[in-house]
Amino acid sequence: MAVLLSLHQSSELKPRPNYPHLNGRPHPPSTAPRLAAKLLGLSMILLTVLVPVADSSLSDIAIITTSIPTMETKMYKFSWQRATFYANGLYYAFWENTGTCEGQSGCLYYATSPDGLTWNTPVNVGVHVTREDFSLTTNSTHAFYTRFNETSFFSNSCNRPLLFRAGALSSPIIWQPERVVKPGNTTAQWINPVVRLDSNNQAWIGYMDNSNSVCGGNGIQVPVVIHSQGTNYAAWTGQTILTTAHSAGWAVDLASLPNRAMYAVYWLHTARNSDLHGRLYNGTWLADEQISPVSDLLDTDAFVFSSGTTIHTVWLDTNTGKLSYNSRTFSPPSPGTWGTTVRIATAECCSNNSFYPIPWTATYEGLTSNIHVYWYNYTHNRIDLYSGLSTNWIGPSPGWNTNQADILSSLTAFHYSSTTLNNATIGVLFIDGSSIRAPVLKYVTENIDPPPSSGPAGGGGGSHIRNL
């Protein structure tokens, strides 16, 4: 039986062991007699937890045929925007490909795969995108994207609209006409967009309103959320500024709750000068809430998930150099309160690059109710894994090797796993290659099986490293 042993030896995380394969899945060998004997001889070690652990395995690495613009290895730097999901029996991956669309350099492409290994011929959506200005989601029958149509990430492209589009999932996707969420403004930009759906398929978009001084604006930047009028995606309303506490590079992530509720987290993604805050929407927006300690200084990315009425967040505090976690339960009419921050582990972070200390992403996995964290270990040229929830975490575990990784490499993954009664799958989409050479787009899936017997899941079993 697979077990997780929590020993009072250290407060640091224990590495996830690599187990031999059994029926195509990594399971630990039977070691009960030897383990019992060893415990008798370890009088100074206290065995505190003995619970079944879910088993996980990694697929081979797949290469998706692309032509990614050189120097665009940071395409998934804002990993919370998401660019991959599983629906309608297929894996979907989206990216910016070289080419000219709408008279600008860079086109939105996607490809599909039945298994995450063999990918069909890429499809050009025919619209322009650039780096961190597009976001994807799905409701299992349709794909939805939002994009800000600026020329490049470094341009001062004001007077451009914020756009939204839905498409029926087929091969290829049957796209509806694009809808204007926010018309262009001569002095403003609607950048860093993220799109989510609530429990009624109403679309929500978070973005940064940038009153660009180069375009004649006042230079103020604020985080904003706006939503469609129900499922009428041609009409948008409810524009709300989440906070005016700072004027800097804001990021927003969103998680849907039951009964059309929505939770927004927001932070400054530049210069490491912001803690993590959030607000709950339950028919109306409630007040700003402190999520992380005030002393935290966030990395580029943070993530929010929901499981029923519970909200989970993970982020990297560059002040302590630790991956961090917090949660709260929303129980109407009580909005709930945030708990105590859990420091998951020390991450390789906080280099001299003040805007991008560590590339990482996270997914909520529904089979065993755990969060899976993937971080790009560019020192060792590999992607490492953590998994767990609350105070119970396992890792780091070596995931798979990469070529020529550097601080500008990036990755993204499913927002939520694709989950059945017997299995959960997470797709990870990443850029392999340095910012100097032409980057390569690759894909890996992590497959999670339930614990081999009943009881609470411990958050992960044996993953095995994959070489290129």
Output 350-358 pairs: Cβ under 8 A, ≥24 positions apart: 350/318, 350/321, 351/407, 353/407, 354/270, 354/271, 354/272, 355/269, 355/270, 355/271, 355/300, 356/74, 356/77, 356/300, 356/407, 356/408, 357/272, 357/299, 357/300, 357/316, 357/318, 357/407, 358/299, 358/316
Model confidence band, residue 7 (pLDDT cutoffs 50, 70, 90):
very low
What SS3 string covers 133-154? CEEEEECCCEEEEEEECCCCCC
Q: Once rounded to an integer, what is the mean pLDDT over residues 104-108?
A: 94
Count of residues in the chain:
468
pLDDT above 70 as % of the chain:
80
C-beta separation of 286 from 275 below 8 A: no
Residue 417 identity (one-letter amino acid): S
- Token pair in block for residue 463: 């993953």
Least confident range from 64-73, 96-105, 350-359, 413-422: namely 350-359
Q: Once rounded to an integer, what is the mean pLDDT over residues 267-279?
A: 84
- Backbone phi, then psi, for 34, in 5-degree steps? -65, -40
All structural domains of the chain with their residue ranges: 57-449
Model confidence band, residue 213 (pLDDT cutoffs 50, 70, 90):
very high
For 26-82, write each residue's pLDDT tens digit: 333 333 333 333 333 333 333 233 334 568 899 999 999 999 887 677 889 899 999
Torsion angle defined by CA atoms of residues 91, 96, 99 and 105, in that order, rounded to the nearest 10 degrees: 160
Q: How many CB atoms lie within 10 A of CB 9?
A: 11
CATH code 3.90.950.10 for 57-449: no
Q: Once rounded to an integer, what is the mean pLDDT over residues 374-383?
A: 85
Calpha distance 303→283 (Å, rounded): 23
Q: Once rounded to an integer, what is the mean pLDDT over residues 336-342?
A: 95
What predicted TM-score, i.e. pTM, was given to this entire model? 0.85
